[in-house]
């Protein structure tokens, strides 16, 4: 029999144990602790961050774009360039002319490693273009927008393949369509909508090439990157690759392309449904439900916004900075960067907690991925794989209904994870952890056939949407909170309009179709009016005003400029009838 310690009473021992456990628990739940994965960055990226910081100190914040500097290719090797930069900065502040001289001698223009190309399948007037559009003015406008493919199509220069260490741009085998302005590379979820447009323009080969580029990124990195730059290798974006493959297949019936794409879709699915992305929640009936979250592999300032992120993090203690940087990068992974949706305290970026949120839209996208893989597996004659993913889709739909659906409000809500509900790797469902704030993302599941095929459900959700206050004079607002961030009120974004409207139109509900048509007319009018005034298509619009430009965020509103030949105001009621 073991001897009991003679100098410790049982109450004293219990007190010590409780104290130790309490402190261990506190350490584990330290809100500043960051212990997640990190993907190392390239030496070139680290160097260009220093150039970015020096440029800000020299030129000042007015009109400063930090991304410009991390996109610049080297003219000489990194060692030589670094030595020259050290000499430049050795004696303190760098004069403007000296910095300009250094940049001219050692760094190339930000888009020097891209070559403008005309897509081989581009036609000025495609056959059967917009067959259901009769309005002459709208058809002319559509053809002008169609011409943007020539303005935005690029090929990665052979220099990137020959000297990859000189570039942050990643080599890609096929041509790309870039968003334009400061965004000089292909982006993940932007490409879903690019793909839809290319197919509408009958540019199937261009669409296949762009999607093949994304597939190559999956094979190299395990997931589609946020964008095709070395500094984006630590995060992805909303997973819509399977939707692109399905759209191409439905247009072409090319089974070989499906067989080529499926291994990448399976690999990407594994990325989003395992490791730090997978979260288990025990629902109110005692069943474990698996859902996914965004989680960037990064805990430093984003290189493309290095100086901005450092300024944001200057407001928190040093020990909290890595966790904040991870939250910032993770929020960029959502595509909604930035929004009060991800903040514990509205309007305060330092309270971003995106890794602690199970997002409605992400899980809808993954459900669609499961349904897409089911469909594609059936098409190539793989019933076993189809059955596996059919079962996975049923499980995820049930999880979405159990954890994210709010029966009273008739909306799906993001679910906030709390360590107080965590036990042995499983969270216990707490109804109060649903974020019942109003965001357009609450209605994204309507985009998925698994939900829009239920007429009763659709009618309930449409009623909730109409009561929400999100439908404004010029489209759907992203939220009702005017935080100054670009993914909040009063901004409206095309992806949100598209997904909600598409879901409503695909349903069998007459009322839903009427609401969808009303939203479409509002959105098209504001796009058309802005185009008439400016000759540009914007990335976001002010949905309170027809023809109003969106704003907010960490960069100026991006636009695509094309010649305009219209001279009439299009917000009149009959302008687009």
pLDDT one-digit tens code per residue, 469-519: 999 999 999 999 999 999 999 999 999 999 999 999 999 999 999 999 999
pLDDT at 10: 40
CA separation for the pair 362, 368 (Å, rounded): 10
Percentage of residues of the chain with pLDDT beyond 70? 90
Nearest Cα to Cα of residue 224 among 181, 183, 171, 272: 272
For the cut 80, the answer to whether the pLDDT of residue 19 exceeds it is no
Residue with tokens 């819509």: 240
Using an 8 Å Cβ cutoff, are 462 and 511 in contact? Answer: yes
Give the model confidence (pLDDT) of 159-215 as tens digits: 999 999 999 999 999 999 999 889 999 999 999 999 999 999 999 999 999 999 999
pLDDT at 26: 36
Residues 6+ apart with CB under 8 A from 461: 410, 411, 443, 446
Q: What mean pLDDT do residues 361-388 have?
A: 99
pLDDT band, very low/low/confident/very high, at 288 (cuts 50, 70, 90) = very high
Q: What mean pLDDT do residues 360-377 have?
A: 99
Percentage of residues of the chain with pLDDT beyond 90? 87
**Which of 247, 268, 539, 542 is flagged as catalytic?**
539
For the cut 80, the answer to whether the pLDDT of residue 273 exceeds it is yes
pLDDT at 24: 40
3-state secondary structure of 287: coil
Alpha carbon of residue 384 to chain centroid? 32
Q: What average pLDDT is seen over the chain? A: 92
Nearest Cα to Cα of residue 215 among 193, 237, 242: 242
Taking the domains of the chain in order of start, what are their residue ranges? 438-577
Strand ranges across the sheet with 422-423: 288-292, 278-282, 426-428, 422-423
**Which of 190, 337, 361, 414 is flagged as catalytic?**
337
Count the Cβ atoms, other than its own, within 10 Å of residue 296. 27
Longest dimension (CA), the chain: 98
pLDDT at 32: 86
DSSP code for 403: I
Residues 6+ apart with CB under 8 A from 501: 516, 519, 520, 523
Going along 208-365, which residue ranges are E strands?
278-282, 288-292, 357-358
3-state secondary structure of 162: helix
**What spatial distance separates the first Cα and last Cα of the chain, rounded to whole Å?**
92
The answer to whether the peptide bond before residue 217 is cis (omega within 30 degrees of 0) is no
Radius of gyration of the chain (CA): 26
Give the model confidence (pLDDT) of 440-480 as tens digits: 999 999 999 999 999 999 999 999 999 999 999 999 999 99
pLDDT at 576: 52
Q: What mean pLDDT do residues 315-324 have?
A: 97
Does 337 qualify as catalytic in the annotation? yes
CA separation for the pair 448, 450 (Å, rounded): 5
Count of residues making up the chain: 577
pLDDT band, very low/low/confident/very high, at 570 (cuts 50, 70, 90) = very low
Nearest Cα to Cα of residue 268 among 245, 286, 290: 245
pLDDT at 555: 61
Residues 6+ apart with CB under 8 A from 343: 349, 351, 352, 353, 483
pTM over 0.75: yes
Residue 33 to residues 19, 77, 258, Cα–Cα distance (Å): 20, 38, 43
Does 121 qualify as catalytic in the annotation? no
pLDDT: is 4 or 171 the higher one? 171
Q: What mean pLDDT do residues 230-255 have?
A: 99
């Amino acid at each position: 029999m073991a001897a009991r310690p003679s100098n410790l009473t049982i109450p004293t021992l219990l007190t010590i144990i409780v104290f130790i456990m309490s402190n261990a628990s506190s350490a584990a739940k330290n809100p500043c602790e960051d212990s997640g994965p990190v993907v190392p960055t390239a030496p070139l990226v680290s160097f260009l961050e220093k150039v970015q910081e020096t440029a800000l100190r020299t030129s000042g914040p007015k009109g400063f774009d930090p991304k410009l500097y991390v996109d610049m290719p080297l003219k000489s090797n990194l060692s030589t360039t670094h030595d020259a930069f050290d000499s430049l900065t050795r004696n303190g502040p760098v004069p403007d002319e000296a910095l300009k001289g250094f940049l001219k001698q050692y760094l190339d223009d930000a888009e020097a490693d891209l070559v403008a190309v005309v897509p081989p399948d581009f036609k000025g007037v495609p056959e059967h273009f917009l067959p259901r559009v009769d309005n002459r003015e709208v058809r002319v406008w559509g053809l002008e927008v169609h011409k943007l493919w020539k303005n935005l199509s690029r090929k990665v220069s052979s220099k990137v393949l020959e000297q990859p260490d000189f570039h942050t741009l990643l080599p890609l085998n096929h041509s790309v369509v870039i968003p334009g302005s400061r965004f000089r590379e292909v982006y993940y979820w932007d490409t879903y909508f690019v793909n839809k447009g290319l197919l509408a323009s009958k540019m199937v080969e261009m669409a296949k090439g762009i999607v093949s580029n994304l597939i190559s990124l999956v094979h190299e990195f395990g997931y589609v990157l946020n964008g095709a730059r070395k500094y984006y290798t630590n995060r992805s974006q909303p997973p819509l690759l399977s939707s692109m493959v399905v759209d191409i297949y439905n247009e072409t019936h090319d089974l070989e392309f499906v067989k080529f794409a499926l291994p990448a879709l399976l690999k990407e699915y594994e990325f989003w449904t395992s490791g730090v992305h997978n979260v288990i929640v025990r629902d109110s009936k005692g069943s474990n439900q698996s859902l996914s979250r965004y989680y960037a592999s990064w805990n430093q300032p984003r290189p493309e916004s290095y100086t901005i992120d450092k300024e944001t993090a200057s407001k928190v203690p040093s020990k909290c900075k890595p966790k904040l940087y991870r939250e910032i990068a993770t929020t960029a992974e959502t595509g909604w960067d930035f929004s009060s949706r991800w903040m514990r305290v509205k309007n305060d970026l330092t309270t971003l907690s995106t890794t602690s949120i199970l997002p409605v839209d992400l899980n809808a996208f993954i459900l669609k991925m499961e349904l897409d893989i089911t469909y594609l597996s059936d098409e190539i004659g793989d019933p076993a794989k189809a059955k596996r993913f059919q079962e996975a889709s049923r499980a995820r739909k049930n999880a979405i209904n159990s954890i994210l659906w709010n029966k009273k409000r008739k909306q799906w809500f993001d679910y906030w994870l709390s360590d107080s509900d965590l036990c042995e790797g499983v969270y216990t469902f707490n109804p109060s952890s649903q974020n019942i704030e109003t965001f357009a993302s609450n209605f994204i599941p309507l985009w998925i056939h698994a939900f829009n095929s239920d007429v009763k459900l659709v009618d309930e959700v449409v009623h909730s949407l109409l009561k929400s206050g999100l439908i404004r004079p010029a489209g759907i607002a992203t939220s009702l909170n005017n935080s100054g961030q670009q993914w909040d009120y009063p901004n409206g974004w095309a992806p949100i309009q598209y997904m909600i409207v598409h879901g409503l139109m695909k349903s069998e509900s007459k009322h839903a179709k009427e609401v969808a048509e009303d939203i479409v007319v509002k959105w098209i009018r504001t796009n058309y009016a802005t185009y008439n005034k400016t000759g540009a298509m914007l990335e976001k619009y002010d949905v309170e005003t027809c023809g109003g430009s969106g704003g907010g965020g960490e960069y100026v509103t991006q636009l695509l400029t094309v010649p305009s030949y219209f001279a009439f105001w299009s917000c009149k009621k009959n302008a687009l009838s």
